[in-house]
Structure 1
Amino acid sequence: IIKTTLDLNKQFQSLPEDIEAVQAEQLRSLLQQAGSTSFGQYYGFKKILDEENIIKAYQKMVPIFTYRKMHQNWWKQQQKLPNITWPGQPKYFALSSGTTGKRSKRIPVTNEMLATFRKVGQSRIAALANYDFPAEYFEKDVLMLGSSANLSEHRQHLEGEISGINTANIPAWFDRFYKPGQEIAAIDDWDERVAAIAAAAPDWDVVTICGIPSWVRMMLIKIIQTHQLKNIHELWPNLSIYASGGVAFEPHRKSFEALLDRPITIMDTYLASEGFFAFTARPGTMNMQLAVAHGIFYEFIPFDERGFDETGKLLEEPEVLHLGQVEEGQDYAMLISTPAGTWRYLIGDTIKFTDLSRYEMVISGRTKYFLNVVGSQLSEEKLNAGIEALSDEFDIKISEFAVAAIEVDGEYIHQWILGTEDQLDEEQAAQFLDQKLQALNKNYRIARQKALKAVRVYCISPDKLYNWLETRKNKKGGQLKLPKVMKAKMMRKVLDFVQR
């Protein structure tokens, strides 16, 4: 039944021709719904709606917000009072993983935002009709590995990581396919939850797995060890789809595929605490199609001198584009306006459009994952490319990595941590990474001739890195991610911890 429905939906799938008009309509709907809120009245939403070009009027009258600015000025009040940035009061607040910040952020999640998550999720399911999967696969199990669905009460709302909030709101029709089920998903302790998943795994016929690569890999290893398997396909022969998310998959590919008996279809998703923005919609690529007609208004700031200074800090008056103005191949920082009451919100990711005819894009990095202490100008995309090349060159599996610029005896070096169980000569790895990044980035090459004096590599067991993450956040699994670019102080703390 599901497969037939998807095939019928495929006939009606089409992308809008006038993207500016479609996005203007998303913005209009948001402004109409929030016009009577404190935020809407302060910034004149009703006046904006009277303008001929509401996108231009909106950009003129509403400033750009970072989390700190939005939280301090508006969202903090919304935890106590209704009608601040969105009608009513949010039932949930999502605690972000805090990848680049010290503390978890509280992001409001309204009922309308949950509906948007579901709407994008339904489009993603509909896109499966583009793949040649057997009809029976659509009646089998989907394993979603996220944070605990046991949410905490705080003031007048519930809070937890967004994967836990979404799990707690799984639609009834999907419940029969969803694994590990609500009871196991509510287990707070990560190790206990994975042990329960491993114990129940033989009873499931899993076709699809969703989750962050590093934690999915750890779960699969636990299942394989528990049941003394050679690979996960011995237990789940129909496993055919992995929906990745949270971090770039490519650096994890080798270690992930080592747990399989045969290739499977790997898709990417762009799902954050602030929204579900994009998903892989066709075979032959992991690039993602932006959800352009699902209640979210997007803006884009060029991630270069037009929008940011040399340290990666947002300019006072950056150039801002709507979706109809972007170009392929250019890095952009993304602004979102959503029914969670986020307005012109700098989400912190950088993206790059790969095919504007399909509105396909990739996540190219984070605005804070930009290593430029000595003018090296290394983006996350270049860092990932260096690690992938290193993995291929030495035929090793690298589960995690991080880098920092550290001052040693008055001179700067790049200090790398590589999470791997394989044998690797650290000096050879440093030399290869250095040469590869010089070939990839002329600014890095110039920096190596001047202020950047050396490159060092330490190979560390991934388990030790995950243990450090656990001590830092007092939890494990879920949406926790190792920061790829660290400050020198954090790098020293990691090295002190793992070398004890």
Structure 2
Amino acid sequence: MPIIGSLIKSVIELRDSIVSEPDAQKAQREVLVKLLKKAKKTQFGKHYDFEAILNSENIEKTFAEKVPYFDYNKMNEEWWQKLHDGEEDVAWPGRPPYFALSSGTTGKSSKRIPVTEEMIDAIRQTGINQVGALSNFDLPPDFFEKEIMMLGSSTDLEKEGDHEEGEISGISASQIPFWFKGYYKPGDEISKIPEWDDRVQRIAENAKNWDIGALSGIPSWLELMMKKVIEYHKVDNIHEVWPNLQVYTSGGVAFEPYEKSFNALLKHPITVIDTYLASEGFLAYQDRPDTTSMKLALSNGIYFEFVPFKAEYINKDGSLVEGAPVISIEDVEEEKDYVLLISTVSGTWRYLIGDTIKFTNVERKEIRITGRTKFFLNVVGSQLSVNKMNDAVQEMEDKFDIKIPEFTLAAVRIEGEFHHHWYLGTESDIDNEKLAEALDESLKNANKNYKVARSKALKGVKVTKVHPDMFPEWSAANKKKGGQVKMEKVMEEERFAKWEKFVEEHSS
């Protein structure tokens, strides 16, 4: 009988019954006040007069009026760059001990986002809250005695002056508490291997030595890891190596596009739990079954604001138009897309994280990630967001009974007229024209703006099939493998031309 597992489960259930649900508006106001008080003597706090904001009648409203929106470039150029010049007390007291490297999906040089001790504590606390929420899932006691495979970036951080740098998954894993290290796989030694292929090879070699009960990581990279383990041990599915695998915690991207190809590697279904850990913080986590939504972490170092996701509020580069309206947590509506803004204990202020979300349950403050502001395809008025693209691709998977875990597209000119050219990652033998027709029809039915565009400036849809492995190979060639790296869904023409050249050179 799994006695230890039963004890752990009982403690989690007891804790979950004691912890009460905070009032969202009150919790967020308290977070904002704490942020402003802590940072009021920093250069940023003095510049935007946090003292006056704190003394105003409506702190949330005054904060929104006095402090402008910041994307990474604006925040870095005007403020964070001072940290690299040796200054302190810039946007948060002191100097950050870590910088999270995030190449995002643009293929440009890495962003360097400050990570403070307070943020490490906030990430850890939200992680504990998520563990506490496991009591809501129907998991047997022996699950709590199994090991957890966390496939992130290398924990061998780079020392740069008085701080260390690495991806947020590597920084978080390097801070794992001592009591958890016995459960954590692949362990310190393998996790420090810098090259993703070498790290995965070592995981495959050691896989049968571990009793893995849960997986955690970006779905595309976890798929490749599982394929490697399956291939190395010459088995049919991952459960032949890890028979007690019961849970997968996804992170940062919607899992649905990967569901078919992911499940094909399993012997039987497992519980999928979504999380939202970004380079800027741990924003949300799924705390109950029977949903694919996540609860915002409302009382743990992050203040949220929301801008309606409409074409007139988004610049071509994905940034916000100056003066775009902002909505606070108490005024959001269900099933409407919003651009997410955050202010945090790492000194991000009214910061455009780049993601769009929608509330699926306003009362519970549950959200789903719907896309990226930079992936909003509106070249000829089609107003296509990533969630609409994902839905259309899933419809094709169901219609043709095929797997399409990855895709990318661009609006391109063919003989002077605009077309949407899709590259679909699939091993199916369905005709390209048939796929294009189905894709086009699905988008017309789901999006009236797309339908209007197709009757005017958008003259056609083209589909090219490529092997699914082409996408991680492109990421490897442009950035690196593994970690938080995600495939860009929408490209500009110039970058799309490089993608097409890459595909041509690497197609067998």
TM-score range for the pair, normalised by the shorter chain length: over 0.9
Report what 1:302 is aligned to: 308
Specify the alignment match of 1:374 in structure 2: 380
Matches within 5 A, 1:24-173: 24-79=29-84, 80-100=86-106, 102-173=108-179
Q: Number of residue pairs matched?
A: 498
**Which residue is equivalent to 1:211?**
217
Aligned-pair Cα RMSD in Å: 1.4
Q: Aligned-pair distance for 1:97?
A: 3.0
Partner of residue 452, structure 1: 458
Distance in 1 (CA, whole Å) between partners of 2:399 and 2:317 is: 32
1:235 Cα offset (Å): 1.4
Which residue of structure 2 aligns with residue 353 of structure 1?
359
2:350: which partner in 1?
344
The separation in 2 between residues aligned to 1:250 and 1:112, in whole angstroms, is 33
3-state DSSP of counterpart to 1:225: helix
Any gaps of 5 or more consecutive residues in structure 2? 1-6
1:398-477 equivalence runs, <5 A: 398-473=404-479, 475-477=480-482
8 Å Cα contact 2:71/2:319 also seen in 1:
no
Cα distance change of structure 1 residues 289 and 323 upon mapping to structure 2, 3 Å threshold: same
Range that drifts further, 177-186 or 305-314: 305-314
Spell out, residue by residue over 1:298-336, the C-alpha distance to the aligned partner (whole angstroms, 9 max, x if none).
Answer: 111111267446986522211111111111111110110
- Matched to 2:211, the amino acid is D
1:295 Cα offset (Å):
1.6
Paired AA for residue 442 in structure 1 = K
Q: CA deviation at 1:52?
A: 2.6
Tell me by how many angstroms 1:100 deviates: 3.2
Going from structure 1 to structure 2, the CA distance change for 1:35 and 1:310 (only over 3 Å counts) comes to: closer
Which deviates the most, 408-417 or 313-322?
Answer: 313-322
Q: Residue 107 of structure 2 contacts residue 478 of structure 2 at CA under 8 Å; is this kept in 1?
A: no
State the shift of 1:381 in Å. 0.7
Map Cα deviations across residues 80-107 of structure 1 (whole Å, 9 max, x no partner).
Answer: 2211111110111001132136222110
Other-structure match for 2:271: 265
Separation in 2 of the partners of 1:443 and 1:13? 45
Q: For 2:358 and 2:300, how far apart are their aligned partners in 1?
A: 20
The yes-or-no answer on 1:392 pairing with 2:398 is yes
Aligned to 1:483: 488
Question: SS in structure 2 opposite 1:209?
Answer: strand
Aligned-partner residue type, residue 494 of structure 1: W
Q: How many Å apart are 1:390 and its aligned residue?
A: 0.8
Percent sequence identity is 51
2:69/2:320 contact within 8 Å kept: no
Q: 1:497 to 1:311 in 2, by over 3 A?
A: closer
Q: Is the 8 A contact 2:314 2:373 kept in 1?
A: no
Change over 3 Å in CA distance of 1:250–1:348 after alignment to 2 = same
Q: Following the alignment from structure 1 to structure 2, what is the Cα–Cα distance between the partners of residues 212 and 305?
A: 29
Partners of 2:140 and 2:469 lie apart in 1 by 37
Deviations 1:189-212 (A, max 9, x none): 111100000111101111110011
Secondary structure in 2 matching 1:106: strand
Question: How far 1:391 moved relative to its partner?
Answer: 1.0
Alpha carbons 2:168, 2:278 under 8 Å: kept: yes
TM-score, structure 2 length as denominator? 0.96
Amino acid at match of 2:14: L
Alpha-carbon shift at residue 60 of structure 1 (Å): 1.7
Task: Specify the code of the residue in structure 1 equivalent to 2:441.
Answer: Q
- Give the Å deviation of 1:22: 1.4
| C-alpha deviation, 1:170, in angstroms | 0.9
Change (3 A) 1:309 1:191: closer
Q: Which AA in structure 2 matches 1:68?
A: N
The one-letter amino acid paired with 2:351 is Y
